Structure 1
Amino acid sequence: MVASDLADLRAYMAGNPGAVIEDVARERKVSPRAVIEALPGEMARIGAGGEFAAAMQDIACWGEVTLIVHTDDAIFEFTGAIPGGEIGRGYFNLMQPKGLHGHLRHERCAAIAFVERPFMGKSSAFIAFINVDGGIMFKVFVGRDESRALRGDQLQRFHALADRIAPRKAA
């Protein structure tokens, strides 16, 4: 990406931090990772994709969250507990016979982004698992309580996981 295009994207995201990442990426012909990286520094931090299994095992202890898969053709949302899993036969296998289950190509995860930003007038916090092509494999959102506020217990776990996988750089 040319420096002027990057500066323009950063300025756009500073003014529109709640923009849909995939839409901005498509409109500007950049990867979703580039859009996340263009968010103001206090809104996003990125850690190593090699922490995929550890992140998923931690998330499995959070309780009800929302997992979103956003493609050009559909947006799939699952709200519920994410099952634990294990690595086998080249996949991270979600170990649950019903509800959310499947096989994730964990080795394609190049980065894990922790994003906290306003979205549709509310605070939001999510983890984006970013693939080797700069696309988002899926996102896991911190759940909300009865008043639609972010669940405090999950937000604490989100911050603790972010501190472990993507510690803030010293100023």
Structure 2
Amino acid sequence: MADAQAIITADDLKTYMAANAGAVIEDVARERGVTARAVLEALPEGMARFGAGEAFAEVMQDIAGWGEVTLIVHTDDGIFEFTGPLPSGEVGRGYFNLMQPKGLHGHLRHTRCGGVAFVERPFMNKTSAFVAFLNVDGGIMFKVFVGRDEARQLKADQLARFRALVASLSSAA
């Protein structure tokens, strides 16, 4: 017999997210037995917009010009955070290569990106804005958050760049 928790309709998920818009996306996905993408798509109207996975390199290059941001990788085993400017990158040998010898660097399987979500929502009593790179399985590869200033407000210049990127690449959920 199927676990009642695992049987959830899209409407049930939308109702839950309307009441819990600031919930941790990965936790909701795990608890409800759905993909992180489904959780993002269930956020209240206007909180999430989506772009194509093919925009991976373009989005990463744009973010590389934003200055200090926070990149988060959230797995079942831990949450890794990097705060600083993201390096620029280029596609080569099947990867999007972050071109920096120290600090954050590496090789990302950009071809596994099935979509890019642009999310503005409340989180821990503050407005947050982030880009979630979604894999082809509906999971989150990683998220990049708009930075905060000394007063813990979203950096206005980064938020403007985020919103310009949203306008150029996204559609409503």
TM-score, reference length from structure 2: 0.94
> Segments of 4+ in structure 1 off by > 2 A?
none
Amino acid at match of 2:16: Y
User: For the residues of structure 1 that align with 2:68 and 2:54, how far apart are their CA atoms?
Assistant: 25
Identity percentage of aligned residues: 71
Alignment correspondent of 1:92: 96
Question: What are the residue-to-residue correspondences of 1:10-49 with 2, within 5 Å?
Answer: 10-49=14-53
Amino acid at match of 1:38: A
Residue 143 (1) aligns with residue 147 (2): yes
- Offset at 1:168? 4.8
Alignment correspondent of 2:72: 68
Can you give the 5+ residue segments of structure 2 that lack an aligned partner in the other structure? 1-6
- Offset at 1:4? 6.5
- Offset at 1:5? 1.2
Whether contact under 8 Å (2:96, 2:110) holds in the other structure is yes
1:5-30 residue CA offsets vs partner (Å, 9 max, x unmatched): 11010000001000000000000000
1:106-143 residue CA offsets vs partner (Å, 9 max, x unmatched): 00001000000000000000000000000000000000
User: For the residues of structure 2 that align with 1:162 and 1:138, how far apart are their CA atoms?
Assistant: 17
User: For the residues of structure 1 that align with 2:52 and 2:106, how far apart are their CA atoms?
Assistant: 23
User: For the residues of structure 2 that align with 1:66 and 1:165, how far apart are their CA atoms?
Assistant: 21
- 3-state SS, counterpart of residue 9 of structure 2: helix
User: For the residues of structure 1 that align with 2:79 and 2:149, how far apart are their CA atoms?
Assistant: 23
Whether contact under 8 Å (2:69, 2:146) holds in the other structure is yes
User: For the residues of structure 1 that align with 2:92 and 2:84, how far apart are their CA atoms?
Assistant: 24
1:15-47 residue CA offsets vs partner (Å, 9 max, x unmatched): 100000000000000000000000012100111
Q: Which of 152, 162, 165 is the matching residue for 1:161?
A: 165
Whether contact under 8 Å (2:50, 2:172) holds in the other structure is no
1:42-89 residue CA offsets vs partner (Å, 9 max, x unmatched): 100111000000000000000000000000001000000000000000
Question: What are the residue-to-residue correspondences of 1:72-83 with 2, within 5 Å?
Answer: 72-83=76-87
Query: What is the count of residue pairs matched by the alignment?
Result: 167
User: For the residues of structure 2 that align with 1:140 and 1:112, how far apart are their CA atoms?
Assistant: 11
User: For the residues of structure 2 that align with 1:162 and 1:96, how far apart are their CA atoms?
Assistant: 26
TM-score, reference length from structure 1: 0.95
Amino acid at match of 1:162: V
Q: Which of 34, 53, 60 is the matching residue for 2:57?
A: 53
